[in-house]
Amino acid sequence: MPSAVKINALCELCHCRKAVMRRPKNLQKLCKECFIHVFETEIHRTIQREHLFYRGESVAIGASGGKDSTVLAAVMKTLNERYDYGLHLILLSIDEGIVGYRDDSLATVKRNQSQYEMPLEIVSYKQLYDWTMDEIVACSGIKSSCTYCGVLRRQALDRGALKLEVHHVITGHNADDMAETVLLNILRGDTARIEQSVNITTNSQGSPVKRSKPFKYAYEKEIVLYAHYRKLDYFSTECTYAPEAFRGTARTLLKNLELVRPSCILDIIHSGEQLKLKHKRRNASSEMEVRSNGSVSLPNKDGNRCERCGYLSTNRICKACILLEGLEINRAKVQIDGTSVDGAAKLTKTLEHLAF
């Protein structure tokens, strides 16, 4: 005879199986089966409410091999089959060139390709920019590594999608990531970015590639639990350069707040959604705006292009080209007299003020 289970230990949804966890989002007691169903259903409702896809659409999944992108691929495959979305799903990976980290995570992505029966495309920084992240860090220093990687990765995803003739990329950014970004922008005093940082879909003017975040309201802890209960194969090692990033400050603050108030993650996101900044009026006849830091913003009528690489940019030269120019200056200096200068690091600070 099976041992008796107390009523208060039962799953709060099915009332017939023993609860194995409390949801980090609302502390609801659930069994494994109900948690998996609830998690998938919430993602489906987000997709339906936001009208993220249309039938027959080709969608690239930004796949890094980590928990978020692996769970995203698994959930999208499940929902696409369960609810008959009619989507053509493709795995798109970016190889930043970080020895001992990205090469191992890409091995996981290749296993996911076989497990989920999806085509895979890998685009590397070396191919696109003639630099790897290891070379960039060696030239500019570790503290600005995430600034470089973030700018180059966003552009690489767009270029990879266009190579596949795909116009929609989805990423595994979760609720924790979005709340961190809101806090990060507040800590930096960059309030102009808060409103756009909580959008579930972003589509820069003139860009043929749309980006979406189906996990916008999914907690990171729940993503980990989902991967655990479904026994998904993912890469769990943190990026070599991540501990030095300023984002870690916002992450630590958020985790401490979550201990006191579990709903604070969604509360911060909702606050960001409600924040509307008063925009300055511009002279319709003006051809450009010179910002206080000396950068030049071009009119956004049909989407502007970088004068050097042709990529979408609100400035004459895009962020990636400015960064790469700083790296070339540093490398040339090292080759000439064997000493490094901080020109690239100074350009990094300037880039924080440029609109993207």
Does 200 carry a binding-site annotation? no
DSSP 210: E
Q: How confident is the model at residue 341 (pLDDT cuts 50, 70, 90)?
A: very low
Does 340 appear as a known binding residue? no
Cα separation, 339 vs 241, in Å, equals: 23
313 vs 16, more confident: 16
Q: Where are the domains of the chain?
A: 32-279, 286-356
Provide, rounded to the nearest whole percent, the portion of the chain with pLDDT above 70.
82
Determine the topology of domain 32-279 in CATH. Rossmann fold (3.40.50)
Q: What's the average model confidence in pLDDT over 332-345?
A: 54
Give the amino acid at 193: R
Instruction: Give one word for 233, left, alpha or beta, with left for phi > 0 and alpha for psi -120 to 50.
Output: beta
Q: What pLDDT was estimated at residue 100?
A: 86
Whether 210 has a pLDDT exceeding 50, the answer reads yes
Query: What pLDDT is recorded for position 39?
Result: 97
Rounded Cα distance, 41 and 64, in Å:
24
Answer with the residue of higher pLDDT: 187 or 28: 28
The predicted model gives 187-212 an average pLDDT of 83
Output the average pLDDT for the chain: 83
- Tell me: pLDDT of 21 over 80: yes
Query: Is 170 annotated as belonging to a binding site?
Result: no
Is 172 assigned to a binding site? Answer: yes
pLDDT exceeds 80 at position 20: yes
Residue pair 344/329 in contact (Cβ under 8 Å)? The answer is yes
How confident is the model at residue 150, as a pLDDT?
84
Give the pLDDT band (50/70/90) at residue 55.
Answer: very high
According to the model, what pLDDT value does residue 325 have?
85
Average pLDDT over residues 153-181: 93
Angle at 341 between CA 336 and CA 345, to 5 degrees: 140
Residue 176, marked binder: no
Question: What is the full DSSP assignment across 289-305?
Answer: EE-TTS-EEPP-SS--B
**Is 267 within any annotated ligand binding site?**
no
Task: Please tell me whether 177 is known to bind a ligand.
Answer: yes
Query: Pick from 109, 104, 79: which is nearest to 92 by CA?
Result: 109
Tokens of 120: 């895979």
